Amino acid sequence: MINKTITIGKKFLGHELVSGTAFVFAGSITGNVLAFLFNLFLARSLSYADYAIFASLLSVITLASIPAGSISTVIVKFATRFFSRNEIDKAKAFYGESAQLIFVIGVIIFIAFAVVSVPLKNFLHIESVWYILLVGINVAFVYFIALNSGFLQSLLKFPYISFLNVAGNLAKLLFGIFFVVLGFKAFAGLLGIFAMSFFGLMLGFFPIRFLFQKKTSRKESIPKKEILTYAIPASIAVLALTSLTSVDVILVKHFFSAHEAGFYAGLSLIGKVIFYFTAPIPLVMFPLIVKRHSIGKNYVYLLFLALFLVFVPSFAVTIFYFLFPSLVVNIFLGGRDYQEIAQYLGMFGIFITLFSMLNVCVNFFLSIGNIKATSIVIFGAILQIILLTLFHANFAQVIQISVAVCLMVLVGFLWNFYRLLKSL
């Protein structure tokens, strides 16, 4: 019995989804610790005014980089398909044409930031347009990194992805410290981010360098129409999914007082710990399913395994939130007046648990190219915006609406999955 249990345990831990998730999770945790040290160093080394400049510009970079996630999804989908079918020439052609498109996007992004540099500088009360221009360069780099990361993900290079996460954040920390010592003030933070992006981009080329070394006798064509037909609705679905855990914070900021909005932002920060713990699972699952689907192998069980791996830790953390909300608020936010949000923490955990499972479902249907099924998340995002605009009496109502919408969308996905099983 013991030997059988050990054998089952080894098979479980050795599964590509489990081992890949473990690598990505380890890299994410280490990278997040280094990122925390980077922000902590800047907060303690810069003046309040300079750190406020960096924090506001970091938010701009984050918002402007959201579409890169949509691009990465498209890249992983088709690159994985080409590699799984050993169509290396098509993979090379796909990389080349994607690089050209992303270069154009990068130039447009930089020009856009240059155009709005003066009004954005005035809006943020920053003294120099060079801050805005450096933000534009950093955002452009994010899109280039999305290309290499997508190809690494499609090749299932999860240990290397983990290494890049750690190496990039380490470079950001070291260069940030270096430029602060040199007296670059808020520029030091942006230059640290640039260093992370630059090293991440350069190191990301190594595992895919065989694409550039391979010589082809003729130019390989790629299914541009199919890629475009997939890319547009897939990008919208990814953006709609992102909206489910960001629009609530935005609307609370609009409808509630600044004091209350700060409380809700703290609540959202703690609640999203569940998502950060489980986010590597669909990231690893996506190329595995694309690979199996492309070569006709069984892929359905991967959804069950991914949902299980997401649900177990999410459920455990949510129960902890219900049992010890005050302790959690003390640990993350230092208690104080933030204790007012403790009563909502368990319910918010349910919201993020449902969202994390939705994240798995959306990635599953995108991985098999079933774009129609993902339209329900777009409907859910729109419904959430409408309901929160109409009903926002208190935090409980806001969270209950988000829970109800996510539950409805999740049921819709599971129904679509049931129909898929019947058709197989």
Residues 216 and 243 in one domain: no
- Kindly tell me the sign of the dihedral angle through the C-alpha atoms of 331, 336, 341, 342: positive
Chain Cα centroid distance, residue 175: 24
Give the Cα separation of 95 and 146 in Å (integer): 12
Residues 193 and 207 in one domain: yes
Which residues does 150 contact at the CB level (< 8 Å), separation at least 6?
A: 71, 72, 74, 75, 76, 79
Domain boundary among 154, 189, 222: 222
Residues 215 and 343 in one domain: no
The tokens of 280 are what?
């590597």
pLDDT by residue for the chain (424 residues), tens only, comes to: 555 555 555 565 556 777 777 777 788 888 877 877 887 777 678 776 777 777 777 767 877 777 787 788 889 888 888 888 888 888 888 898 889 989 999 899 999 999 988 888 887 777 888 888 998 999 898 888 888 988 998 888 888 988 998 999 999 999 989 988 888 888 888 899 999 989 888 898 888 888 877 666 566 677 778 888 888 888 888 888 888 888 887 788 778 887 787 778 778 878 888 888 888 888 888 888 888 888 878 888 888 989 999 999 999 999 999 999 999 888 877 766 778 889 999 999 999 999 999 999 999 999 888 888 888 999 999 999 999 999 989 999 999 999 999 999 999 999 988 888 877 6
- Split into its structural domains, the chain has a count of 2
Give the Cα separation of 304 and 71 in Å (integer): 26
Residues 95 and 200 in one domain: yes
Backbone angles phi, psi at 413, to 5 degrees: -65, -40
Give the Cα separation of 72 and 396 in Å (integer): 35
Residues 170 and 281 in one domain: no
Q: Are 359 and 241 in contact (CB under 8 A)?
A: yes
Q: Are 237 and 366 in contact (CB under 8 A)?
A: yes
Q: Domain of 405?
A: 228-423
Residues 208 and 59 in one domain: yes
Domain boundary among 162, 195, 222: 222
Instruction: Please report the pLDDT score of residue 265 as a whole number.
Output: 77
Residues 207 and 346 in one domain: no
Residues 70 and 102 in one domain: yes
Backbone angles phi, psi at 297, to 5 degrees: -90, 160
Amino acid at 254: H
Residues 232 and 364 in one domain: yes
Q: How many CA atoms lie within 13 A of 275 on its CB side?
A: 20
> Residue 64's closest CA among 123, 135, 150?
135
pTM of the predicted structure, to 2 decimals = 0.79
Give the Cα separation of 265 and 394 in Å (integer): 14
Residues 115 and 259 in one domain: no
Residues 197 and 167 in one domain: yes
* Residues constituting the chain: 424
Q: Are 378 and 338 in contact (CB under 8 A)?
A: no
Residues 234 and 365 in one domain: yes
Q: Are 281 and 16 in contact (CB under 8 A)?
A: no
Give the Cα separation of 137 and 139 in Å (integer): 6
Domain boundary among 171, 191, 222: 222
Amino acid at 208: I
